[in-house]
């Protein structure tokens, strides 16, 4: 039990609404005294939940708006994966009050993202031949190449925007991000309508409009970072230090990119492989409808996962292992409860959900048959992405990349192909294989998280920041 001298920290509060006034340091000090009495649980849950929902609500709004402005699969996976390294290091630096390091980290990430964009540019430019190789017709390959080439400016804008977004998120600056994303989204809708439907510029016009909108977002974010008082300590201008000590950060960046790409491509592969089944029309229609709902659920959960990453990285950087552990417990409990609710809704409205997309009786029946698998996937979405968010906040990307490779591609994908092509299950068999991979990955992450020594994670974060200080800023502070 916590000693009597620390109990007034919580005992003197009349309502849960007052609890967030306490600092993380005070909560950490209270938790250090030993096991907490049951009567303190509601107060601690309210304190952490308010912080969590403040972050996740704005992040979900921003993510939905940004996703609506569009970014293509390959660049999306690579850039977001690389950006999670920014989330780890900047989040821990902010918690440790190593503000000067954050701007350097952001600049270094932008340099590396642009380097990756240069490589991806060649794939975009020669996308026509690539589409033919995977079996697309000459007409579709030609149109796809026109569209992809029009997206090349967007690729570089995304390369700059991703690190800036994570730089701001690490500082708990989320509401301005949401306002910027929503504003650009509405402007993009107007411009896209003018370019495509009024001036009839077709695919190239649509692609260039996307590129323009993303560059507008970059400009708005850059102006905010440069002139906002909220960033005056974390952004001190451009520095040549961004080009020094790249190798340690590069390793984390590569691990981050591999980790997220393996996850994104795994789920995208479900639709691709379904198209290889005999008579794939109904299979593709039904799986596409289910994936729409799964993607919506994923977007919601990714907002919570990003909030979890911010909370964990901030508290580890600040030297608060018990608060970090508290955050992990509450965010996983909360997201699991939400996913049970969402899964129940999917099962109850299994027929109605398909009718929103189609009136074809065969497709409706196929979607209804797949709904139990969709419900299972929705439930897993309440656990797996959150654990990945915790992993990003803790800097475990390399470990998770190995776990993803083993569970998704060595186990899940082969099982799915066997069940899909060698049995009568068809698309359901492919999905079962995918689910098996996700279940195994989730179990391994749960075990790793449950066995984590959070005090050791604080020490690792301190070492990471100390290395950053020595190599980037030559700071002399003790972390």
Smallest CA-to-CA distance from 283 within 293, 273, 292 is with 273
pLDDT at 164: 94
The counts of H helices and E strands in the chain are 20, 0
* Structure tokens, 195: 């370019």
Assess whether pLDDT exceeds 50 at residue 358.
yes
Give the total residue count for the chain.
Answer: 479
Q: Which of 14, 391, 90, 131 is nearest to 249 (CA)?
A: 90
How sure is the predictor about 161, in pLDDT bands with cuts at 50, 70 and 90?
Answer: very high
* Average pLDDT of span 133-141: 70
Number of Cβ within 10 Å of residue 176's Cβ equals 16
- CA 55 from centroid of its chain's CA atoms: 13
155 closest CA partner among 83, 84, 221, 214: 214
Q: What is the pLDDT of residue 338?
A: 92
Q: Is the pLDDT reported for residue 237 higher than 50?
A: yes
Distance CA 214, CA 220 (A): 10
The secondary structure of residue 242, as a DSSP letter, is G
> Whole-number mean pLDDT of the chain?
82
Tell me which DSSP letter residue 245 carries. Answer: S
Cα 383 to its chain centre, rounded Å, is 13
DSSP helix, strand, coil percent of the chain (3-state; round to 5)? 85, 0, 15
For residue range 359-393, list pLDDT tens digits in order.
778 888 888 888 899 999 999 988 988 999 999 99
Of 304, 328, 305, residue with least CA distance to 316: 328
Residue 420 tokens read as: 């899909």
Q: What distance in Å separates the CA atoms of residue 335 and residue 305, rounded to the nearest whole number?
A: 9
What does each C-alpha distance from 66 to 52, 210, 381 come to in angstroms? 21, 11, 21
Q: Is the dihedral of CA 117, 122, 126, 130 positive or negative?
A: negative
Task: Tell whether the model's pLDDT for residue 206 goes beyond 70.
Answer: yes
pLDDT tens-digit readout, 385-418: 899 999 999 989 889 999 999 999 999 999 999 9
Residue spans per domain, the chain: 1-69, 71-244, 310-473
Q: For residues 372 and 431, is the Cβ–Cβ distance under 8 A? A: no
Q: What SS3 class is residue 357? A: coil
Q: How sure is the predictor about 17, in pLDDT bands with cuts at 50, 70 and 90? A: very low
Please tell me the distance from the alpha carbon of residue 326 to that of residue 334, in angstroms, as a whole number: 12
């Amino acid at each position: 039990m916590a000693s009597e001298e620390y109990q007034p920290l919580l005992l003197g509060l009349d309502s849960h609404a007052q609890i967030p006034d306490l600092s993380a340091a005070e909560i950490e000090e209270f938790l250090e005294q030993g096991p907490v009495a049951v009567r303190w649980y509601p107060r601690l849950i309210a304190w952490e939940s308010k912080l969590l929902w403040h972050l996740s609500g704005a992040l979900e709004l921003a993510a939905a708006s940004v996703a609506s402005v569009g970014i293509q699969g390959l660049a999306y996976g690579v850039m977001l994966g690389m950006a999670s390294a920014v989330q780890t290091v900047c989040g821990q630096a902010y918690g440790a009050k190593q503000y000067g390091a954050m701007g350097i980290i952001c600049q270094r990430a932008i340099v590396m993202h642009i380097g990756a964009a240069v490589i991806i540019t060649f794939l975009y430019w020669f996308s026509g031949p690539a589409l033919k190789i995977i079996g697309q017709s000459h007409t579709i390959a030609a149109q796809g190449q026109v569209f992809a080439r029009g997206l090349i400016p967007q690729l570089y804008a995304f390369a700059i925007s991703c690190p800036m977004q994570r730089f701001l998120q690490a500082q708990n600056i989320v509401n301005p991000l949401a306002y910027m994303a929503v504003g650009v989204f509405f402007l993009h809708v107007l411009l896209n309508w003018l370019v495509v439907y009024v001036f009839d510029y077709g695919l190239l016009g649509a692609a260039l409009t996307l590129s323009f909108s993303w560059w507008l977002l970059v400009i708005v974010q850059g102006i905010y970072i440069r002139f906002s008082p909220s960033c005056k300590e974390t952004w001190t201008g451009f520095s040549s230090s961004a080009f020094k000590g790249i190798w340690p950060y590069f390793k984390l960046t590569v691990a981050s990119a591999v980790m997220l790409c393996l996850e994104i491509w795994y789920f995208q592969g479900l639709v691709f492989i379904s198209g290889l089944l005999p008579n794939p029309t109904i299979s593709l229609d039904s799986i596409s409808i289910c994936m729409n709902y799964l993607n919506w659920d994923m977007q919601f959960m990714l907002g919570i996962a990003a909030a979890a990453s911010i909370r964990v990285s901030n508290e580890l950087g600040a030297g608060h292992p018990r608060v970090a552990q508290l955050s992990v417990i509450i965010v996983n409990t909360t997201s699991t409860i939400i996913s049970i609710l969402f899964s129940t809704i999917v099962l109850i409205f299994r027929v109605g959900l398909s009718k929103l997309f189609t009136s074809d009786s065969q497709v409706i029946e196929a979607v209804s048959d797949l709904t139990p698998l969709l419900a299972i996937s929705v439930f897993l979405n309440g656990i797996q992405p959150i654990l990945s968010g915790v992993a990003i906040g803790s800097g475990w990307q390399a470990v998770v990349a190995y776990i993803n490779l083993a569970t998704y591609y060595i186990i899940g994908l082969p099982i799915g192909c066997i069940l899909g092509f060698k049995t009568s299950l068809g698309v359901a068999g492919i999905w079962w294989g995918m689910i098996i991979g996700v279940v195994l990955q989730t179990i391994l992450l749960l075990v790793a998280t449950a066995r984590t020594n959070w005090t050791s994670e604080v020490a690792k974060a301190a070492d990471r920041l100390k290395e950053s200080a020595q190599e980037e800023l030559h700071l002399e502070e003790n972390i």
